[in-house]
Every structure is written in structure tokens, then in C-alpha cells.
Chains A and B, each alone.
Chain A
Amino acid sequence: MVLDSRRLAAHPAFVRSSGRSRPTVEHPSPPAADDAVPRRDEILVERAKAGDVAAFNQLVEAYQDLLHSLVVRMVPDPDQAADAVQEAFFSAYRNLDRYRGPSFRGWLTRIAVNAAMDLQRARRRRPASPYPELEDESWQPPAGDDTDPERLALTGERGRVLAAAMAAITADQRAAIVLYDVEGYDYAEIAVMTGVSLGTVKSRIHRGRLALRDLLADRMELLRG
């Protein structure tokens, strides 16, 4: 019975249906007025285009957590990830006149993904030590209501093990997995963002998952817990 429910949880249909709409810290449940956010963004963009830095900073405030949580999973070194996010906001401000809609969030995300991938390509020859904060408490999830120390330790250990494995696969595979599994973008959206074909996106995700499985073959029990 346990196995059945596990399989059900892993089934694509189940996972997909519980995909992007699943409320998380990064993606809170969508508000009732779904187009209020794009409207607000458009107004702020127009003001920022006219030279209102405060308006652009309101957009930064709205999206910096989202971009950071995306990029920090794509770039193993948190300092480099922060640099990539900063560069993404700089680039967005510099190229604001080129923004044509319809979604500022999508446009910004694309810029951030490109910034993260550019940064990783540039530093490929000088790799930084991956995830220097693995021993740091920052990888611990927020305590919340669950204060059971054993459970917290288990969750933290799980995060560290998985993060180390993610750092060991290729940057392209990592980006595709994060965009698909964590951020909930579909194959076509990822293909546009990363500038590769749909088949390449699928291949990167499949091969990346297989590589993760090879790396974590003896830790699967920990991840199942």
C-alpha cells in the first residue's frame, strides 16, 4: 500500500497536476484578481521607462525573492548566484525600452536564466567550490510549526545531499531540472528561455535525473523518508 501511494505520488499525471499551482514560498496561491499583478507591472514598467527608479525598485522588491530562489538553485555558489541576480536586474533596467510584454515576470525570468547560464559558462574554467554553505544553517528549511529536532535534522541532511548532487551534474541539466521541476515551466517555455530545442530540453531533464540517481543511488532511502 505504501508502495502504491509512492508510485501515485511519482506518477507524471499526479505530479503535473500538482505542479505550478502548488502553493510554495516562491509561488503563493494565485490571488483572486489574477491580472492585477500584470497590470501593476505594466504601470510600474511605464513609470520606470520614464526614468522613475523608485518604480523599478518596486518591481525589484516584487521579484527579487523569486529570481533569487531560481538562480541560487541553478548556480551552486550563492555569492555567484547573487551576482547573477543583480546582473539580471541591471540588464532589465538597461533594456527596459525593449520590453514589449505581455509578462514582465516571464521577461525577467528569462533574463535571469540567461544571466545565470552566462555566468556559469564564464566561470567554467575557474570552478568555485560548489555549495560552500552546505555546512551552513542557511540550507535548513524554516522551522515552521514542525520543531521536532530529529525531523529537522533529517530534512536538512536531505537538502544538503541533494544540493551536492545537483552541483555535480552539468549546468545545462541543472537549469532544465530546476526550471521544470521546481519552477514548473513546461518544455516549450524552457526551450525558449534557454535557446535550445524541445528535444534537447527533454534530453537534459532525463539525463540529468538519471545522473542524479547515479550519484544518490545509496542515499535513496534518505530521500524517500
Chain B
Amino acid sequence: MSSPPDRHAAEHALAIAALQAGDLTGPELARALELRASCPDCSALYVDLGTLRSAVRAMPAPPRRRDFRLTEEDAARLRPTGWRRFVGWLAAPRSSVRPLATGLTTLGLAGLLLATVPGLSLFGSATMLSAPESRDAGWRVDGEMATGAPVETDKTVTLAAPSGPAATAAPAGAPEAPAAEPVPTGGVAGSGSEDYRANQGATPGTPTPTAGDQGLLAGQQPFGPSLVALASIVLLVTGLSLFAARWALRRSGG
């Protein structure tokens, strides 16, 4: 750490350098001019900086010894076409391949995680419901909770179950599907169920219309976790392939 006199000297030197460059205005300019007038070293520094500036301008440069014109081979290498262009993009030091591959791999891993971890099977349950249908589902759960009466649990369960052979096979209007474990849906659909009941004039605890359920079930099938898992695997494989291709190309000097 510099001592105070050294710091002062450095500050004075910077002020003189700024004065010499013509960068000061107002009070700073007045202070620097006063400094130059009162301090012989500062005055000498001011002159020396001007001398250096002129000398740097006149500094000769070594002559050019290389011709920088491009050959046809250079041009072909620098602006390739077709598949060479793709390969060049993959191997370029600053290309967007790496962030792209990172993004795809991350998305793939995240998708696989969501699709395979049992507690996170978001894609097959309430999130797939549209707003009125969600309220519909919550209506039944609320009804059960409010009355304490056992509602037709199997229907609710069937609605909430993401997929399954029985649900898939059940025709519209089929009364029952094999019972599965209940899936909690109240957190998603609980709010606003009272309003809905009031508007519909329905009685709590009464089983709900089933036509919508069947339509919902029919529409739910293509978006099951298996599709998410498949898409995730595709993303993951694409991302890893990009990483591998880039690594191989750079290693081979391509």
C-alpha cells in the first residue's frame, strides 16, 4: 500500500496527465493549472508528457512482410457451403452449439425427471384439465369433504388417474372403471367451487355429469407421461449427440 505522500504524488501526476490531454474543465482545470504553476516537478511532467505524445506519433512501424490476401483455399475454408458449413458451425470455437446442446440436454433431463418420478407426474393429472373441468373435479372432492358422505370415489379416481389400460379402453358412458389409488386433486381445483355450485344449482355431494369426464378422459390419452418421456429422450439424445460431435470435430481439428 502506498504511503500518503506517494498517493498525493500519483494523484497530482494523474491530474497533470489529464490536463495535458485536455480532459479537464471547471474547478479541476483550475486546480491542475495552479498545480502546474506552483510545482516545478509537475511542470516538468507536463512538458515530458507532451514530448512523449509527439514521439509516439512519430514512432516508426516495422514494414509489412506478409501479404494478407486470401487464397481460394482460404476462402473455401472460411466460407464453406453445404455440409461443410454445418461441420464448421459445429466445430467453431464461438458457435452456438455448446449452449444449444446444454439447453437440450437440460430440458431432456428435466422432462425425464418429471415424467418418471412418481410424485411429480404432473402431466397426467390436474394440470391437464381446462379451467371449468378443473372446477368440476374440485366440486366432487369438495362435496365429499363437506358432507362427509362417500362420494363415488371410483369416478373421481378415474378422472384423476393419468392413464391406464382400463381408462383407455372404457367407452363413453361406461359406468365403472377399475378403482385405482386416489390421487389428490383438491389443491388445484378447490377454490371457487362454492360459486360454481351456486351457479349450477347443484347439490353438494351429488355425483357430477359424466359426459364431460369421458370427453376429458378421451382427450387426455395422447398427452400422457409416455409422450413427455419420449420427447425428453429425443431432446437428451440430440443434446448429447451435439456435444459428442463437437468434441470429436474439435479433437480432430475439423
Chain A positions near chain B (C-beta within 8 angstroms): 3, 6-7, 9-13, 15-16, 26, 51, 53, 56-57, 60-61, 64-65, 67-69, 72-73, 78, 82, 85-86, 89-90, 93-94, 96, 133, 136, 138-141, 155, 158-159, 162-163, 166, 177-178, 181-182, 202, 205-207, 209-210, 212-213, 216-217, 220, 223-224
Contacts and interface: CB of A to CB of B under 8 A. Distances in A.
29 contacts: A10-B20, A10-B51, A13-B22, A26-B61, A53-B72, A57-B70, A60-B68, A64-B64, A64-B68, A64-B69, A65-B64, A68-B61, A82-B65, A85-B68, A89-B70, A90-B74, A93-B75, A96-B79, A159-B60, A166-B56, A202-B23, A206-B14, A209-B49, A210-B49, A212-B56, A216-B52, A217-B48, A220-B51, A223-B55
Contacts of A12: 20-22
Contact of B18 (A61, A73, A206): A206
A8 B46 CA distance: 12
Contacts, number: 136
B57 interface: yes
A86 B68 contact: yes
B54 interface: yes
For the complex of A and B, 6 pairs with smallest distance between CB atoms: A10-B50, A12-B22, A206-B17, A141-B60, A138-B62, A68-B64
Nearest to A216: B52
Given A10-B20, A12-B20, 13 more contacts: A6-B47, A6-B51, A7-B50, A10-B50, A10-B51, A11-B50, A68-B61, A138-B63, A141-B60, A155-B60, A181-B53, A209-B49, A224-B51
Contacts of A69: 61, 64
B79 A213 contact: no
Contact of B54 (A10, A60, A96, A206): A10
Contacts of B63: 138
A171 B241 CA distance: 40
B18 A202 contact: yes
A133 B55 contact: no
B20 A207 contact: no
Most chain A CB within a 10 A radius of its CB, from B49, B51, B62, B74: B62
Interface residues of B, number: 38
A172 to B, nearest CB: 16
B53 A209 contact: yes
Given A13-B22, A56-B70, A162-B56, A210 B17 contact: yes
Interface string B100-144: 000000000000000000000000000000000000000000000
A96 B139 CA distance: 64
A49 B190 CA distance: 63
A15 B23 CA distance: 13
A36 to B, nearest CB: 22
Given A68-B64, A206-B18, A210-B17, A220 B48 contact: yes
Contact of A140 (B53, B56, B60, B67): B60
Contacts of A224: 51
A163 B54 contact: no
A220 B48 CA distance: 7
A162 B61 CA distance: 11
Main secondary structure of the interface of A (DSSP, over half): helix
A82 to B, nearest CB: 5
A163 to B, nearest CB: 7
Nearest to B22: A12
B45 interface: yes
A173 B217 CA distance: 70
Contact of A7 (B18, B47, B61, B65): B47
Given A53-B70, A64-B68, A210 B54 contact: no
A10 B49 CA distance: 8
B69 A57 contact: yes
B82 to A, nearest CB: 14
Contacts of A223: 51-52, 55
A167 B17 CA distance: 20
Contacts of A53: 70, 72, 75
A136 B62 CA distance: 9
Query: Which of A7, A60, A86, A209 is packed against the most chain B CB atoms within 10 Å?
Result: A209
B50 A6 contact: yes
